[in-house]
Amino acid sequence: MLRKLLTQPSSRRLLSSGIPPLFSKSSLSPFSSLSSSPEPPSSESTTVEHPGTTISVDRSSLYTPPDHSHESTPETELVKHLKSIIKFRGGPISVAEYMEEVLTNPKAGFYMNRDVFGAQGDFITSPEVSQMFGEMIGVWTVCLWEQMGRPERVNLVELGPGRGTLMADLLRGTSKFKNFKESLHIHLVECSPALQKLQHQNLKCTDESSSEKKAISSLAGTPVHWHATLEEVPSGVPTLIIVHEFYDALPVHQFQKSSRGWCEKMVDVGEDSKFRFVLSPQPTPAALYLMKRCTWATPEEREKLEHVEISPKSMDLTQEMAKRIGSDGGGALIIDYGMNAIISDSLQAIRKHKFVNILDDPGSADLSAYVDFPSIKHSAEEASENVSVHGPMTQSQFLGSLGINFRVDALLQNCNDEQAESLRAGYWQLVGDGEAPFWEGPDEQTPIGMGTRYLAMAIVNKNQGIPAPFQ
């Protein structure tokens, strides 16, 4: 079965031409060295007065990089909105709330109104690098479907499907498996109207019911539904969930150790009307998640920590997936950049393939953070005793074990020199710096890619056994 998937002719262009050198969202944030900056803050604490209340905020160990703007610009609607929230609250907001508004505010959020992917966007993801990525995800879904006993109906769910490129390549790559194709009901969890339109277009959909956000994809004759949240996806049937570069965009709370103990990092407005970071004067509600997360770390790990980054929404999402998989059957595949450890301070902003200040011109840059894979594992196991968690392993190991080397060899048999060069470049962007022992790297340059920066993890119903390639 695997060889049938991997050696069939390509039905999509090999790789987009003109893509710049790999830009991965996995580098460290330029803000990550704040506490070790040689420039100390101007004071340890400040009293900030707001209408109806007075609070103290602590700026010890915080340093805000110099403003990069050369001239004043009118405030955007999102900036005004954020400032109004802070004013209404009478004090700063959490980094998580700031991040959520910046990315998904219905009117001005980064993802809501435009295409942000690819060479002309702000960053490139694995499906945009090469068709082989989506095809390998297709291999994984077919293998798990086989282990599930080939159910006649399956909900295939993708969270945050971007342009729909991964799903389109998955459907093309598995099109020869008639029974699998006919079992699928596709559910795309997407909150951006602009990206929903791109997904509709790239999946070659024809509308069947616009009121129910339902269409038919001509790529596989498969029903396609759109939802704002996973909870809206119908339950009661086996479910396969693809979660690629989704967790990294979920809001994170940041905590920093101070003389008073652990304080939450917050976003406030300074006297110069610019956003700045401050520390909470006392424990916040999110600190409960901090205490819970740190119970999974060893005392030695906790002692070394000066910063901690936690995503309660990631925990909640994982538990929702685990409960569904535990009761209905199926599994989830999670691929993202992150660590198999506690995350300290990784939040970063990316605009036009470059790092920028997190607080600079909110809404114009992507905000993302490393994924805490142990947190995902523990959340899933806590939610359902009927699931098992496998991994993480590196993206290079994952793709290599599924047979990406056989697929690239098959594609090379049917392409010209220019296509072959692009194909090899795409291969190395996906597995470079990894452990897939298939080719020597390019002689003239060190391969740079996503191979070890991105990790893969699977959550499956225990009745399905161990999924490929985690055996």
Exposure string for 143-164, b = 16+ CB within 10 A, e = fewer:
bbbebbeeeeebbbbbbbbbbb
pTM recorded for the entire structure:
0.80
Q: Residue 448's pLDDT is what? A: 56
The tens-digit pLDDT sequence of the chain (471 residues) is 544 445 454 444 333 333 333 233 433 233 233 333 333 333 444 444 444 444 445 554 454 444 444 445 678 899 999 999 999 988 999 999 999 999 888 887 777 766 545 444 444 567 777 889 999 999 999 999 999 999 999 999 999 998 899 999 999 999 999 999 999 999 999 988 888 888 999 999 887 655 566 788 878 788 999 999 999 999 999 999 999 999 999 999 999 988 888 899 999 999 899 999 999 988 888 888 887 787 777 788 878 889 999 999 999 999 999 999 999 999 999 999 999 998 989 999 988 768 889 999 888 888 999 999 999 999 999 999 999 999 999 999 999 999 998 998 888 888 888 888 888 888 888 888 754 444 444 444 444 578 889 999 999 999 999 999 998
Q: Residue 71's pLDDT is what? A: 46
Q: Residue 422's pLDDT is what? A: 83
Q: Which of 426, 397, 350, 427 is nearest to 116 (CA)?
A: 350
Q: Residue 153's pLDDT is what? A: 96
Q: Residue 290's pLDDT is what? A: 80
Q: Which of 101, 36, 26 is nearest to 256 (CA)?
A: 36
Tell the burial category of 178 from Cβ atoms under 10 Å away from its Cβ (0-12, 13-18, 19+).
exposed
Q: Residue 119's pLDDT is what? A: 46
Q: Residue 213's pLDDT is what? A: 67
- pLDDT tens for each residue of 214-241: 788 878 788 999 999 999 999 999 999 9
Paired tokens of 129: 């690098």
Catalogue all structural domains in the chain, each as residue range(s) with its CATH number.
Answer: 2-26+117-250+313-464 (3.40.50.150), 34-66+73-114+264-297 (no CATH)
Paired tokens of 316: 């909640």
Q: Residue 446's pLDDT is what? A: 42
Q: Residue 166's pLDDT is what? A: 94
Q: What is the CA radius of gyration of the chain?
A: 23
- pLDDT tens for each residue of 22-53: 233 433 233 233 333 333 333 444 444 444 44
